[in-house]
Amino acid sequence: MKLFGKKKRRSHVAADISSPPGRARAEREMILGDHGFLREGFQNLHKISSEMWRSNQPNPRQVAEHARERGIRTIINLRGPSTRGYYLLEKEACEDAAIDLVDFQVFSRDTPTVETIFAAKALFDEITYPALMHCKSGADRAGIMSVLYMIFRQEQPVPLAVEQLSKKYLHMREGKTGLLDAFFESYLSYAKDTDMAFETWVETVYDRQTVKSGFLKSGKSKLSLDRILWRE
């Protein structure tokens, strides 16, 4: 499956969480390297339907709480698999809580591929609910997937579904994360005159490179809040 874009990753040796030193290292990576200390008291957690939640990266204690308090059966990890401590500890916590962990990597600073859009639709039909999906901050990648969930699974109109990309969830359209907004705005602009369904537009009209280049030329991508917000 093609993903939202290309992203370079540094080589990293997986922590062995079965040993005390390895577990301590993984916990340090989660708390310090992945800024987990910020998420300890703030989960950016929202219930978006009777069967779906969205949040930022959960720690093991929060994974157990999702299973116990919300009956979560599936967690969709939008960051993709990793050798980092935050992922290894989440995977272990899901196994302990009998939660299915699904890795479905998407990116927040590129226009989505057609393949990813329809893979998301299939995913929403296949998983066991109740479910929760998360990225690192719960703002951008969780945002676009929540919009697609609302369109495909909840059959909401796009103008209503795109409310999942808003400052309420800490999504910022300023900077390159605005590419996610530009994608849906491109459809809404086209549908205004044609009344074409979203899926039909994606299959027959949508050109991701055209949408991306138009957004970049507009100058809206120049402001970057990534360093300030510690986002990926």
3-state secondary structure of 203: helix
Look up the CATH architecture of domain 41-229. Alpha-Beta Complex (3.90)
What does each of the 232 residues of the chain score in pLDDT, given as a tens digit? Answer: 434 444 444 445 556 898 899 999 999 999 999 898 989 889 999 999 999 999 999 999 999 999 999 999 999 999 999 999 999 999 999 999 999 999 999 999 899 999 999 999 999 999 999 999 999 999 999 999 999 999 999 999 999 999 999 999 999 888 889 999 999 999 999 999 998 999 999 999 999 999 999 998 886 655 555 444 445 5
Distance (Å, whole) CA 179 – CA 217: 12
CA distances 20 to 60, 86, 219, Å, are: 16, 16, 49
Distance (Å, whole) CA 118 – CA 104: 12
CB proximity list for 24: less than 8 A, separation 6 or greater:
none
DSSP annotation of 72 reads -
Backbone angles phi, psi at 149, to 5 degrees: -60, -45
